[in-house]
Structure 1
Amino acid sequence: MTLTYLSLKPEQPIRTGGIKIGGGYLDTQDYLPGSVVRGALAEWLKLQGLESQIRDTVSRLRFGNFFPSTDAQLWSLPFPTTAVECKLHGGFKTSPGSEGHGIRDTLLAAVAYSELIKSGARFPVPFLLRCLEAKHRDQPEICYGRLERVAGYYIRRDGRYSQIRPEEVLQTKVALSRHRRAAREAMLYRVVALAPGLRGEGTPLYFVGRIWTQEPSLIDRLCQAVSEVGVGGLTTRGFGRVTCSTATIAVKPLAQRLRDFNAKLASAWQELAELANQCGAAVSSSPHGSYFSVDLLSPAHLTDGDGLPTLRLVLSYQGRDLEPIWWSAQSAYLGGFSTAWGLPKPSALGVAAGSTYVYRVDGNPEDLVSWLENLEHQGVGLRTDEGLGEVLICHPFHEEVEPV
């Protein structure tokens, strides 16, 4: 399948649904799920009188999720669950005007620590990280603040990191009586949506995501569909209008991400191994085999051998099950509403976006590239055609072992 990046520029507020807190309050998600774009294509085909082609057209496309960005040619990524920041002074150090102590990723250090423990190493202290930055730039006193998980999205431009925080807008509306054609008493409801621009910056907001297709000509059809129909909910009430275009995204090749991942892991491994050897444990100073991570860019619907929900991602490699040696995952509620059915979608327990799994195999990293590329294209778990189970192999932020 051919990979294409699409950029959607909102012209109106966008509401993509979420868990309903109450009947009079409609919340939104902070990204565009692939199922929303998929539904827009199906609705457009229906309006064109091509309802019989919906199943065949949709089956030839796989929809990734669209994440908020400041540029149509810049793909933002969600933070993995292993990314942390100082609780007292959060934020990137490299962002313009930021006083944050930096954001770092703990996965490689945690994997090296865990693997060394399995090989018999003993450390004088447990694995615990604190902020070692100065409290203020003009004061030498160390912060020692607790590190907490970072949520949201980030971009990297010209070597500098920035967080993306879409702005939410609130609109209050009134329900109308179809019989009286007037407002109904005590039937106000509030709609939360994403504004077309970023908070306090006057910068346009874009949503950039991945589409896999067997026929590149379907991309033009998809762009026409979302531009005419809109995306998300309430498209007939002033929400969801977007303009669509293809994007050229510079992404580090998978083979290079895999090599950099193993090189950074070897560096962290060596430092911890030297500490373990000082404590009297004779352990290897370098890892054996090839390691890689599978990072969820969207929620995933995973099941075990009995069909029951699970948080553990087991891969199939060379005819055998490949278990993760280390993983960090959170649960998520999977649901939604199908406009085609006019009914809610089946609800299930899933794995939240940002969850990450680490695996080890014997051999060189180059031997894994073809298999891992296919895994990225196919996704993991069930309902991948709806945007669930989108993955990125060796998330580039895992390389940021030191605060940035």
Structure 2
Amino acid sequence: MKYLSIRVIAQSPLSIRSDHASSGAGTTSYIPGSTVLGSLATTYKLLNPGDAHNFERLFLSGAVRFPNLYLASYKKNQKLPDINKNLPIYPTPKTAIACKRQKGFLYPSDQNNESHGVRDTLIDHTLFTEWPEKDKVTALTILEASQTCAFEHNHQRCGEPTNRYEAYYRRINDKQLLASEGKYHLQTHTGINRFSGTIEEGILYNRQVFDEGTQFWGLIKVTDETVSTLLEDFLERIAKGGLMRLGTGRTRGMGKVFLITENQSRETDTFAAFQQRLDTFNSMLQQEARKYQTQLSQIEDQYYFALTLHSPTILTDALFRYHGTINARILEDLLYKQAKTPIHGIQHVYHQAQVQRITGWQELWGTPRTNEYAIETGSVFLFKCPHAQRTKLLPALYQLEEQGIGKRTIEGFGRICISDAFHQEVTWL
């Protein structure tokens, strides 16, 4: 597997419709992988109209998996050190919480940052779920710590309620996480009469757009070395010519972007690093459980791991019905079909998940896509299995993380992270 980081900088206002509802004015908070693929495919057709063979290798063979591009911009008034602009951008999981009044990470720690911090609650919810039913009232004390903000200023505790925190962030180091922030504005347009092609009197509408200069980041995965060389040459060509356009309103001058790609070293994605991440999460959970030895002694015989979605994931059953969650049976099927490893004894423990509708436009055919339903980015599913299965389980999970799960993975869907490092953040950051 070869990795290419792709950084997109908006050169003109950029709008990605969040829905096809007639009254929808909002834009998505990221650039979908399907939009990236469609734009690149259209550009390739214009530049190489007769090259069907290489077109198929790049966009139809499945050798290239295009990513969602997540926000990589920050406040201009933030006094930040030089940040490696190829550091990965991650979405926060749905188990992340922050103060309801002053949400956000503590970094950067300057006078302009009034945030009270962010932490993860997956381990808290796991201990509560695994607590014996006969004594659940006592287990409520485990969750109480995450219900109010623990930030202190001048020896006074905030104490405000906490809410789920949704953002994209970069990990600067082990204890410094930096949230991305985009700037938007509304553009007002007049409606056009479909028959005369002139302004339709009495029709105005607004469209939310990203400001010029907004940056996005993603990671392209390429499984074929020869296709990777072909892709790099093509991306370099359109980057130099400024030929790429994204989103809606392109005939009005919107959607012009500047493209930067680089080969990405992925030392953190080796199997050894993967194994260490999973073992660290399981050890942290076991360590928290030891505080309640009498009630949670059975946890020590189990191996716990979390499956966190880093992009929307489309899963269907044999009758093409959409899944709104991932249970133990679905996970075992995925491990068998994609990693070719039969694993038995997996149990579902806990999850936080939501479902979203996926709409879109087929650029090459000029038709709307069929609506589909996906499990949202950031959804978390916690599982356990007998510790004796660990040696067999880890390579299979590693393959699953590398390949992605579900439908349309070449468009950025189905990217997952096993035991995301964010779940280890049990203190306020």
The normalised TM-score by structure 1 is 0.85
AA of the residue aligned to 2:245: G
Please name the residue that 1:205 is paired with.
215
Secondary structure at 1:287 match in 2: helix
In 2: Cα distance, 1:301 partner to 1:346 partner: 13
Q: Does 1:290 align with 2:298?
A: no
- Checking the alignment, whether the CA contact within 8 Å between 1:295 and 1:394 is kept in structure 2 is yes
* Superposed counterparts of 1:248-397, under 5 Å: 248=264, 252-253=268-269, 255-275=272-292, 277=294, 281=295, 283-284=297-298, 287-313=300-326, 314-315=330-331, 316=333, 317=335, 318-320=341-343, 324-361=348-385, 362-363=387-388, 367-397=392-422
Answer with 84-93 or 33-42: which moved more.
84-93
Deviations 1:67-93 (A, max 9, x none): 111463222111100001122332222
Residue 223 of structure 1: how far off its partner (Å) = 5.0
- Checking the alignment, whether the CA contact within 8 Å between 1:67 and 1:209 is kept in structure 2 is no
Answer with 58-67 or 122-131: which moved more.
122-131
Please name the residue that 2:177 is paired with.
161
Secondary structure at 1:209 match in 2: strand
Residue 355 of structure 1: how far off its partner (Å) = 0.5
Deviations 1:186-206 (A, max 9, x none): 343322111234xxxxxx523
Q: Does 1:74 align with 2:87?
A: yes
Q: 1:401 to 1:340 in 2, by over 3 A?
A: same
AA of the residue aligned to 2:58: T
Residue 336 of structure 1: how far off its partner (Å) = 1.2
Secondary structure at 2:250 match in 1: coil
Q: 1:216 to 1:101 in 2, by over 3 A?
A: same
Please name the residue that 2:254 is paired with.
239
Corresponding residue to 2:64 among 43, 61, 64: 61
Q: Does 1:399 align with 2:424?
A: yes
In 1: Cα distance, 2:182 partner to 2:380 partner: 24
Secondary structure at 1:236 match in 2: helix
AA of the residue aligned to 1:142: R
In 2: Cα distance, 1:74 partner to 1:52 partner: 35
AA of the residue aligned to 1:270: Q
In 1: Cα distance, 2:27 partner to 2:231 partner: 26
Secondary structure at 1:14 match in 2: coil
Residue 113 of structure 1: how far off its partner (Å) = 3.4
Q: Does 1:216 align with 2:232?
A: no
Residue 245 of structure 1: how far off its partner (Å) = 2.1
In 1: Cα distance, 2:19 partner to 2:412 partner: 18
Residue 250 of structure 1: how far off its partner (Å) = 6.2
Deviations 1:250-274 (A, max 9, x none): 6633543542443344334333343
Q: 1:121 to 1:176 in 2, by over 3 A?
A: closer
Secondary structure at 1:271 match in 2: helix
Q: 1:299 to 1:305 in 2, by over 3 A?
A: same
Q: 1:224 to 1:176 in 2, by over 3 A?
A: farther
**What are structure 1's unaligned runs of at least 5 residues?**
198-203
Of Structure 1 and Structure 2, the greater strand share is in 1
AA of the residue aligned to 1:386: E
In 1: Cα distance, 2:282 partner to 2:296 partner: 19
Secondary structure at 2:43 match in 1: helix
- The total of aligned residue pairs comes to 390
Secondary structure at 2:311 match in 1: coil
Q: 1:13 to 1:288 in 2, by over 3 A?
A: farther
AA of the residue aligned to 1:384: T
> Considering only aligned residues, what root-mean-square deviation do their CA atoms show, in Å?
2.9
Residue 116 of structure 1: how far off its partner (Å) = 4.3
Residue 219 of structure 1: how far off its partner (Å) = 2.6
Q: 1:13 to 1:358 in 2, by over 3 A?
A: same
Please name the residue that 1:200 is paired with.
none
AA of the residue aligned to 2:375: V
Q: 1:249 to 1:13 in 2, by over 3 A?
A: farther
Q: 1:90 to 1:170 in 2, by over 3 A?
A: same
In 1: Cα distance, 2:104 partner to 2:94 partner: 16
AA of the residue aligned to 2:46: L
AA of the residue aligned to 1:329: A
Residue 103 of structure 1: how far off its partner (Å) = 0.4
In 2: Cα distance, 1:132 partner to 1:378 partner: 38
Give percent identity, aligned residues only: 24
